[in-house]
Amino acid sequence: MRVLVLAEDHHYEPVRKIVDRAGIRGVRITPMRGNRVQKLVGYVRCHPECNRFVVLKDLERLDEEAVRRRLEDVRRALPPGGQDKVVLVVVRRAVEAFGRIDILYNNAAVGYSTPIVVGSVEELPEEHWDRVVRINLYSVYLCCKYALPELRKTGGVILNTSSIMATGAVPGADAYTASKGGIISLSRSLAKELGPEGVRVNVLCPGTIATPMIAPILEDPEAVRRSEAKIPLGRLGTPEEVARAALFLVSDAASYITGAVLFVDGGQSV
């Protein structure tokens, strides 16, 4: 488990020295450029191994003692144990804070913008395959496993994010494609199993959405044009459009929908 510290460029080196002097382990420091929320989300998605995030921004001066104390407090707040223990603690804390769980939205993933080799099964190192599948698919299993007792009590909803790549052949993205295909199969199985208990399970399959996950495409105007040419609506999607589809599937407006796979892709999968 790690803590990711996002520091403005001019604070990066001082913060690194503070962490080194204090001997604080399990901290990763990343320089933060710009102030858009989208960029912040991008940093978080690029470091899925981190369990807590600290942003150091707009500081007139760096208080070494305050930074050290804050990082140590965050580290102590991390639950002990492996990934399963972290999920169990998160579920318990949610129930303690809100009294119940009505919706589980599994949306974590790694792909193109993360420090992972993209390649075929022959080219991909085993540790990269394991990491993609563990984050993209195993996390869905864990969250469903520990949230289901609470969702049964409320007749809740599970929404899992897959991808249009789960149903289309995309050479060179084998681990990502396999993990996203697994999400669809798992979700359909759960929908049939949990339907009699009043728990709905659905899947979102976004297409090419303008998020940091496809940063290499967004930074290349020609790549953007090539991507848009494959989409009948002629443009990339936005996170807000995916969010509206998610909101529909977890709402009472979709009360008779379970086991569904909804494509939010501008017609790209047609």
Q: HEC string of 89-135?
A: HHHHHHHHHHCCCCEEEECCCCCCCCCCCCCCCCCCCHHHHHHHHHH
Q: 105 with 111: CB under 8 angstroms? A: no
- Choosing from 52, 77, 102, the residue where a domain stops is 77
Measured CA distances, 172 to 122, 169, 255 (Å): 10, 9, 38
The answer to the question of residue 269 being in a domain is no
256 catalytic residue (yes or no)? no
- pLDDT single digits (tens) 95-133: 999 999 999 999 988 875 445 556 778 888 888 888 889
Stated pTM of the model: 0.72
Whether pLDDT at 220 is above 80: yes
The answer to the question of residue 270 being in a domain is no
Q: What are phi and psi of 35, to 5 degrees?
A: -135, 15
Are residues 90 and 68 part of one domain?
no
Choose the catalytic residue: 12, 43, 146, 176: 176
Mean pLDDT (the chain) is 81
Query: Edge-to-edge, what's the strand order for the sheet holding 50-56?
Result: 27-32, 2-8, 50-56
Are residues 189 and 64 part of one domain?
no
**CATH number for 96:** 3.40.50.720
Are residues 54 and 129 part of one domain?
no
Are residues 179 and 158 part of one domain?
yes
Are residues 64 and 105 part of one domain?
no
Instruction: Report how far residue 141's alpha carbon sits from residue 238's, in angstroms, rounded to the nearest whole number.
Output: 27
Would you place residue 169 in the very low, low, confident or very high pLDDT band (cuts 50, 70, 90)? confident
Residue closest to 52 by CA, chosen among 81, 70, 72, 78: 78
The answer to the question of residue 237 being in a domain is yes
Q: Domain count of the chain?
A: 2
Are residues 202 and 109 part of one domain?
yes
Structural domain range at position 237: 83-264
Are residues 61 and 7 part of one domain?
yes
